[in-house]
Amino acid sequence: MHIIAVGGSDAGISAALRALEVDPGAEVTVVVADAYPNFSICGIPYYVSGEVPHWGNLAHRGIADLEAAGMALRLDATARRIDVADRRLLVTGADGGEDVLAWDQLVIGTGAVPARPPIAGLETLGPADGVHVLHSMDDSFAVMRTLEETSPESAVIVGAGYIGLELAEALCARGLAVTQVEQLPEMLPTVDPQLGALVRTELEAHGVTVLSGTAVREINRAEAGSAARLRVDAVTAAGEAVGLDAGLVMVVTGVRPETSLAASAGAALGERGAIWVNQAMRTGLPGVYAAGDCAITHHRLLGETWLPLGTTAHKQGRVAGENAAGGHREFAGSLGTQVVKVFDHAAARTGLRDHEAAAAGSDPVTVACEADDHKAYYPGSHKIAMRFTGDRATGRLLGVQLFGHKHAEIAKRIDIAAAAIYSGLSVDEVSDLDLSYTPPLGSPWDAIQAGAQAWTRRAGRT
């Protein structure tokens, strides 16, 4: 039994590890496009910031650990073609040499690649000019070279999603003057604008210049005599032109699934062009699985969607690996649970926002409220801003969004909500949960329960 995983990031490595756990006798090979298997891509902003002093620290596990777990690694190897009928995989090495590997079960974990928004200049300008994307370790090395070799004093970050926000903080930590440009009306468009506005306040409190509702149209090398290397031209929603000088430009406007290997082998594609899989992570091709950012995401409330997240990649990879090794497991489904730290605060969400729930056929009610993270009489308490979305007819909890201090246990509070939604609880039942309490760390009714009760009152379901 030879299992090959294509891709050395979360999905591929999780598949390999799980396959070896389920069948220690299996032969497992991971084909890795670069020299950095099992790196924490989510940690790159903290390497850029200097908080992680050496890039090597970003490895979830070292190469020796992975090999000790029983897998063979083919580093700097690119998977070129899948022969489904004969169960072969053509790979090329760094020297261009070809090799054909036989497999019994194949897990495709080719991930995603940065989206290239329609900005003039992006095709010609690159890292050597100070214009960067950020997705792979090589991308992060290129950013570090620009930072160290050109000592830019200013940066423009195009995009205010998770990575954009983390980069704003990282570049501020390095002393750059940061301007964050977001095309949509508010920061962190994956949460409601009321919470996005709180993210904006936090950015501005730390010196970031925030331009929302502003679309970048063009990036150019600056004219001679300019203070910085690059010139960014943008336009506001009102049609006003905005010109920005920058020593560094980061374009972080999302990703798209990397599916060419699978598609050329005949795999069906699904939502957003990602590889279609069932909940066992099987593509339609015999013996071929896909997992992670390259594959569609089964969502517990939405069905088939595409929602690339590291947590999901780990879970999908684990399911694919288990099944490739002869197991029978299904991916239980995503709720799109996410958290991001922005300077001293954190924003998080799980489940659906109001418009997403409405689009999915619910009759949602969304209620905003706030509560203390712990009893206000004990020093250091912080308000948590909350938005609860539930279904008017059934009372079922559909989604929660939170914003609060980084020590307000925002991440694990959203996880309580995620656990509740996973189990299909009603908003009202959240009040029935037996949650912990001590004055320095909570309240007799936790903030999450105060939010649930506010929803129940305002939705008229008391």
Minimum Å gap between C-beta 21 and a copy of itself is 6
Number of neighbouring beta carbons within 10 Å of residue 244: 21
Instruction: Pick one of 88, 304, 431, 458: the residue that binds a copy of itself (CB under 8 A).
Output: 431
Instruction: Pick one of 194, 419, 458, 461: the residue that binds a copy of itself (CB under 8 A).
Output: 419
Specify the residue, 339 or 368, whose C-beta has the smaller distance to a copy of itself: 339
Report the site for a copy of itself in 442-461 (rule: CB under 8 A).
Answer: 442, 444-446, 457
Instruction: Pick one of 97, 148, 224, 377: the residue that binds a copy of itself (CB under 8 A).
Output: 377
- Tokens of residue 349, six digits: 């969400």
Report the site for a copy of itself in 328-367 (rule: CB under 8 A).
Answer: 332-341, 346, 348, 350
Specify the residue, 38 or 214, whose C-beta has the smaller distance to a copy of itself: 38
CA distances from 298 to 196, 246, 292, 315 (A): 26, 41, 11, 11
| 124 counts as binding a copy of itself under rule CB under 8 A | no
Phi-psi region of 70 (alpha: psi -120 to 50; beta: other; left: phi over 0): left
Specify the residue, 289 or 331, whose C-beta has the smaller distance to a copy of itself: 331
Report the site for a copy of itself in 135-174 (rule: CB under 8 A).
Answer: 162, 166
| Candidates 83-91, 100-108, 234-242, 306-314; binding stretch for a copy of itself (CB under 8 A) | 306-314
- Tokens of residue 104, six digits: 């019994």
CA angle centred on 129, ends 127 and 135, rounded to 5°: 20
Instruction: Pick one of 71, 122, 244, 414: the residue that binds a copy of itself (CB under 8 A).
Output: 414
Instruction: Pick one of 224, 239, 243, 423: the residue that binds a copy of itself (CB under 8 A).
Output: 423
Specify the residue, 206 or 300, whose C-beta has the smaller distance to a copy of itself: 300
Amino acid at 459: A
Specify the residue, 103 or 306, whose C-beta has the smaller distance to a copy of itself: 306
| 21 counts as binding a copy of itself under rule CB under 8 A | yes
Strand 88-92 relative to strand 78-83, pairing:
antiparallel
| 214 counts as binding a copy of itself under rule CB under 8 A | no
Instruction: Pick one of 200, 315, 353, 396: the residue that binds a copy of itself (CB under 8 A).
Output: 315
Three-class SS state of 7: coil
| 314 counts as binding a copy of itself under rule CB under 8 A | yes
| 407 counts as binding a copy of itself under rule CB under 8 A | yes
| 207 counts as binding a copy of itself under rule CB under 8 A | no
| 412 counts as binding a copy of itself under rule CB under 8 A | yes
- Tokens of residue 423, six digits: 């189990």
| Candidates 120-128, 172-180, 244-252, 371-379; binding stretch for a copy of itself (CB under 8 A) | 371-379
- Eight-class DSSP state of 282: B
| 325 counts as binding a copy of itself under rule CB under 8 A | no
Instruction: Pick one of 35, 255, 368, 411: the residue that binds a copy of itself (CB under 8 A).
Output: 411
Helix (H) / strand (E) element for 89: namely: strand 88-92
CB 294 within 8 A of CB 258: yes
CA distances from 229 to 128, 150, 245, 281 (A): 11, 9, 7, 46
Distance CA 117, CA 158 (A): 10
Strand 383-391 relative to strand 397-405, pairing:
antiparallel
Instruction: Pick one of 93, 126, 286, 440: the residue that binds a copy of itself (CB under 8 A).
Output: 440
Burial letters for 34-66: b for 16+ Cβ neighbours within 10 Å, e otherwise?
A: bebbbbbbbbbbbbbbeebeebeebbbeebeeb
Query: Which residue from 87, 94, 32, 112 is spatially nearest to 309, judged by alpha carbons?
Result: 112
- Eight-class DSSP state of 191: S
Contacts with a copy of itself by CB under 8 A: the residue count is: 74
Specify the residue, 79 or 410, whose C-beta has the smaller distance to a copy of itself: 410
| 304 counts as binding a copy of itself under rule CB under 8 A | no
Minimum Å gap between C-beta 433 and a copy of itself is 5
Minimum Å gap between C-beta 449 and a copy of itself is 9
Distance CA 131, CA 123 (A): 10
| Candidates 106-114, 173-181, 212-220, 406-414; binding stretch for a copy of itself (CB under 8 A) | 406-414
CA angle centred on 14, ends 86 and 412, rounded to 5°: 150
Minimum Å gap between C-beta 128 and a copy of itself is 29
Strand 2-6 relative to strand 105-108, pairing:
parallel
Q: Which residues contact 53 (CB under 8 A, 6 or more apart)?
A: none
Chain centre to alpha carbon of residue 363: 28
Specify the residue, 103 or 331, whose C-beta has the smaller distance to a copy of itself: 331
Specify the residue, 221 or 458, whose C-beta has the smaller distance to a copy of itself: 458
Report the site for a copy of itself in 30-89 (rule: CB under 8 A).
Answer: 40, 42-43, 46, 51-52, 57-58, 60
Q: Which sequence positions are flagged as catalytic?
A: 42
Query: Which residue from 413, 369, 365 is spatially nearest to 387, judged by alpha carbons?
Result: 369
**Angle, nearest 10°, between helix axes 162-173 and 193-205?**
10
